[in-house]
Amino acid sequence: MRGRALVGFQARSQQAGLPRDRRLPMVYRLLAGERGDPVVKGELARDRDLANVEAALFIADEPLSARRLAQAAGLNDGAEARRLVRKLQTLYDKDGTAFQVEELAGGFQLLTRPEYHTWLVRLRRTGHDLRLSTAARETLAIVAYRQPIMRAEVEAIRGVQCAEVLRQLMEKGLLRMAGRDDSLGRPVLYGTTKKFLQVFGLKSLKDLPQVEELRPPKAAGTGPADTESRE
């Protein structure tokens, strides 16, 4: 089919009196497999493979694993994709661009730098913001730290029914069914999703803050040593 399309175009070009060495339109160049490597100049220039990686990251609306990125960019394997991502990160740091490549949810994603958030948020449609109620945040935190966990366990910790909140968090794509417990009735176990990692900027669940980091700092003068000194 490619051959017939090219022959047909060439015949029409001759009938129109166009020169034989006229460059084919983009669609016919793609059909013919004509790619042509870009001219690489300067330390910040991109060769073909690096440009392909950058283009794939630009168009993706979710983190791409090294394997998927390699497939999209026509690379040999995920190791090569990771190497090129590191190189791209270095280039972004050198030229002071507004973009950065972050490793999130087991993949790589092209994002704007945090310092531009206050300007870009003005362009964002408010209806697309992910808003969570206090109950939803509390429930999500419990599942994140205790997963896989049953609804009854979540309710025992919060002290209120959580069926509706869990359903809403699943609809938002933040929670998923992670299996069933072996207890009577085989209740559903809940766990977080890849989107949860993406939304909260985490590479994996290991990047969740430790419990010690969440505790408020002790106020000055409340420690045992201070008590003894006052006595």
How far separated are the first and last CA of the chain, in Å rounded?
93
- Give whichever of 21-25, 192-196, 219-223 has the largest mean pLDDT: 192-196
- What residues have CB less than 8 Å from 14, skipping those under 6 apart? 20
Judge whether 62 and 198 are in contact, CB under 8 Å: yes
Under a CB-based contact definition with an 8 Å cutoff, are residues 103 and 203 in contact? yes
Among the listed residues 146, 196, 161, 154, the one whose alpha carbon sits nearest the alpha carbon of residue 175: 196
Res. 133: pLDDT tops 70 = yes
Is 40 or 140 the better-scoring residue by pLDDT? 140
DSSP three-state, residue 217: coil
Q: Is the pTM of this model over 0.85?
A: no
Nearest to 104 by CA among 65, 50, 162, 68: 65
Q: What is the pLDDT of residues 32-76, one digit of tens each?
A: 444 455 545 666 677 788 888 888 888 888 888 888 889 888 888
CA distance 85 to 40: 18
